[in-house]
Amino acid sequence: MALHDTHPIWTTPEMRDAIAQGDPGAVVRLARRAAELTQAQLGAATGYTAASISRMERGKQPMRDMLLLQRIADALNIPRQLLGLAGRHAPPPGPGTVPRPPAGATRVAGPDLFEEGEDPVRRRNLLAGLAATATGTVLGTASPGPAAARPALTGLEDLLLHRGGDLTGTEPTRQTVTAALDASRRDFGTCRYDTLARALPQRIALAQALGREGVVEESATAVAELYSTATRLCIKLGEDGLAAVTADRALTAALSGADALTIAEAHRMVSSSWRRQGHYARATDVAVTAAQHLAADRTAAETQRLSVQGNLYATAAYTAAKQGDRHTAHTLIREAEHAAKRLGQDQSPSGTVFFGPSQVRLHQISISHLLGDAGQAIDHARHVNTELLPTAERRARYWIDVARSFDQWNKPERCYRALLAAEHAAPQEVRRTAVRTMTAGLLRHDRTLPGVRSFAHRVGALT
C-alpha cells in the first residue's frame, strides 16, 4: 500500500537520519517496510528485480535513473524531493531546459546555454562547477574514472551465426516474452547498453521459442522488435556490418507474420543500416516507400500509424541531409511535421515508437547541422523542452546534437557544456565515436575549459 502523508514513518528517528544524510536507499527501505511491501513487490511495481531493489536500498547500486525514482516515489508516495526529484507541482521548465535539480544542486545546462554575452570569468567558474557536478553524478565520486569498457556483442554474434540461444530457467510464454520486450525497451531508453548487449541473445531466443509453441504472430512481432533493438544498439556501438545483419533479421521476422506497424519499423532499421554503409539513395527510398505503404494500411489505429509513418519520413529526411540533398531533406521533414501536427502531441501509442513535435524538432536540429546551418540548428534546439523527451537516450542525443552544432559554430565552451549535459543524462551515450572526436578537438582549449581533460578521459578520447 502507498503511504499517506501523515504516516508515522516520516517522523521516526531512522527516517529523519536517512533524510539528513541524503540516503535515498535508506528512505526507500524504510518507506517500503512501512508500506508492508516486499522487495519483490516493489520491484514488480517499478520494473526491476528484487535483487536490484535490495542493492539500491543498501547503497550498492546508485539510484540515478530518473524514471525509476519517479516510479518508486509514486509506488510508495514518497515526497519526490527526498529522492532528488523536482516536486510534482513545480512549475514546468522553459524550452531547452533540463528538469530542475533539488535545492543546493548545480544545474548541468539550461536556457543560458543559448544566450550570448556571458562574462568570461563567470563562464569559466560555471564550467568548473558543471564539470565537478557531472563527474560526481556520473561516477558517484569526485575522482574521474577511466572510460567504461565497450559492451561486448559476442553473444549476439553467436546467436546470428548459430541461430540458437540459452533458455535455461526461462519458459517461453506470452508473459516472459512481454517482460523481455519491456526490459529491452528500458535498457535502451536508459542507455544501459552493456546490460542490453548481454541480455539480448537470450531474449531473442526466448521470443523465437514462443513461435515454436504455436504463438506465431506474437513471436514474429517480438523477434522483429528485439532484432530492431539490436540494430539500434549496433549502430550506437559503431558496428555497422553487424547492424546490417540484425536489420535483415528484423525484417525477415516481421514479414513472417507480424503486423503492418512492425514491418514498417523493421524497414526503418533496414534504411538506417543502408545509410550507415553510405548507400544514401537506397536508404531514403526504403524509408519513404515503407511510409507510403503504411499510409494505405487501415489495420492499425491512426495514432500508431502516424507515429511510425512520421518516424519513417524523419529518418528519410536525415538520410537525405547526410547526402547533402537539402531540397529532399526539407521536403521529407515537412512530411514528418505534418504527421506530428495531426497527432497533436508527443505520443508512444504502441509502447515502442515515440513520435510527435519533439521528435521532429530533434531531427530538425540534426538535419540543420548536417547541412551546415549551425545557427538554424541552435534555433531549433531552443524550442525543445527536454523534460518532455521520454528517455535518457533521447535527452542525451539532444545534447550531443546541440554540442555538434556549437562545435560547428566554433563555440567550444557551449559545446563542452552541452556534452556535460549529455553525460549527466546518460553516461554510456557519450562514449561514442562522435563525442570522442568532438572532445579531442576541445582539448586544445583546456586552459579555458576546466575539467575537459578529465571528461576526455571518461569518454575515451585520450585512450
Q: Where are the beta strands (DSSP E) in 75-115?
A: none
Domain's final residue, options 258, 288, 307 = 258
Inform me whether the pLDDT recorded for 261 exceeds 70: yes
Is 35 in the same domain as 126? no
pLDDT at 349: 57
Is 407 in the same domain as 436? yes
More reliable by pLDDT, 340 or 162: 340
* 355, β-bridge pairs: 347
Inform me whether the pLDDT recorded for 298 exceeds 60: yes
pLDDT at 107: 47
Gap between the Cα atoms of 187 and 146, Å rounded: 22
Inform me whether the pLDDT recorded for 203 exceeds 80: yes
Q: What DSSP string describes 151-192?
A: PP-HHHHHHHHH-----TT----HHHHHHHHHHHHHHHHTT-
List Cβ neighbours of 457 (8 Å cut-off, separation of 6 or more).
144, 146, 147, 463
Backbone dihedral angles phi then psi of residue 180, each to the nearest 5 degrees? -65, -40
Is 25 in the same domain as 63? yes
Number of residues that make up the chain: 463
Inform me whether the pLDDT recorded for 201 exceeds 90: yes
Q: Residue 107: which of 93, 118, 119 has the closest Cα?
A: 93
Domain's final residue, options 258, 274, 297 = 258
Is 126 in the same domain as 174? no
pLDDT tier, 121 (very low <50, low <70, confident <90, very high otherwise): low
Q: What is the amino acid identity at position 344?
A: G
More reliable by pLDDT, 162 or 329: 329
Is 155 in the same domain as 248? yes
Domain's final residue, options 238, 258, 278 = 258
Q: Does residue 341 belong to any structural domain of this protein?
A: no
Is 154 in the same domain as 138? no
| Domain range enclosing 57 | 8-90
Q: Does residue 86 belong to any structural domain of this protein?
A: yes
Q: Does residue 25 belong to any structural domain of this protein?
A: yes
pLDDT tier, 49 (very low <50, low <70, confident <90, very high otherwise): confident
Least confident interval from 109-118, 220-229, 282-291, 356-365: 109-118
pLDDT at 167: 63
pLDDT tier, 136 (very low <50, low <70, confident <90, very high otherwise): low
pLDDT of 218-233, one tens digit each?
Answer: 999 999 999 999 999 9
Total number of domains constituting the chain: 3
pLDDT of 304-359, one tens digit each?
Answer: 899 999 999 999 999 999 999 999 999 999 999 999 999 888 876 555 668 889 99
Inform me whether the pLDDT recorded for 98 exceeds 60: no
Q: Residue 26: which of 58, 71, 66 has the closest Cα?
A: 58
3-state secondary structure of 62: coil
Query: Residue 47 maps to which CATH number?
Result: 1.10.260.40
pLDDT at 456: 92
Q: How far is Cα of residue 437 from the mean position of the Cα atoms in its chain?
A: 21
Is 54 in the same domain as 139? no
SS3 per-residue string spanning 298-337: CCCCHHHHHHHHHHHHHHHHHHHHHCCCHHHHHHHHHHHH
3-state secondary structure of 4: coil
Mean residue pLDDT of the chain comes to: 83
Q: Residue 319: which of 353, 282, 349, 352 has the closest Cα?
A: 282
* 347, β-bridge pairs: 355
* Residue 147 DSSP code: P
Q: What is the amino acid identity at position 135?
A: T
Q: Does residue 396 belong to any structural domain of this protein?
A: yes
pLDDT tier, 373 (very low <50, low <70, confident <90, very high otherwise): very high
Is 139 in the same domain as 158? no
More reliable by pLDDT, 356 or 18: 356
Q: Does residue 305 belong to any structural domain of this protein?
A: no
Inform me whether the pLDDT recorded for 124 exceeds 80: no
How confident is the model over 229-244, as a mean pLDDT? 93
Q: Residue 107: which of 462, 421, 451, 422 has the closest Cα?
A: 421
Q: Does residue 376 belong to any structural domain of this protein?
A: no
pLDDT at 145: 47
Gap between the Cα atoms of 346 and 391, Å rounded: 13
pLDDT of 56-93, one tens digit each?
Answer: 888 877 776 666 777 888 888 888 777 766 544 444 44
Q: Percentage of the chain with pLDDT > 70?
A: 81
pLDDT at 95: 42
Is 250 in the same domain as 162? yes
Residue 282 CB burial class (10 angstroms; 0-12, 13-18, ≥19):
middle
Is 246 in the same domain as 166? yes
Least confident interval from 17-26, 77-86, 119-128: 119-128
Q: Does residue 407 belong to any structural domain of this protein?
A: yes
Is 73 in the same domain as 115? no
pLDDT tier, 18 (very low <50, low <70, confident <90, very high otherwise): confident
| Grid cell locating 173 | 510464454
How confident is the model over 296-311, as a mean pLDDT? 89
Is 191 in the same domain as 247? yes
Q: Does residue 199 belong to any structural domain of this protein?
A: yes
CB 326 within 8 A of CB 342: no
Handedness of CA 110, 111, 117, 119 (dihedral sign): negative
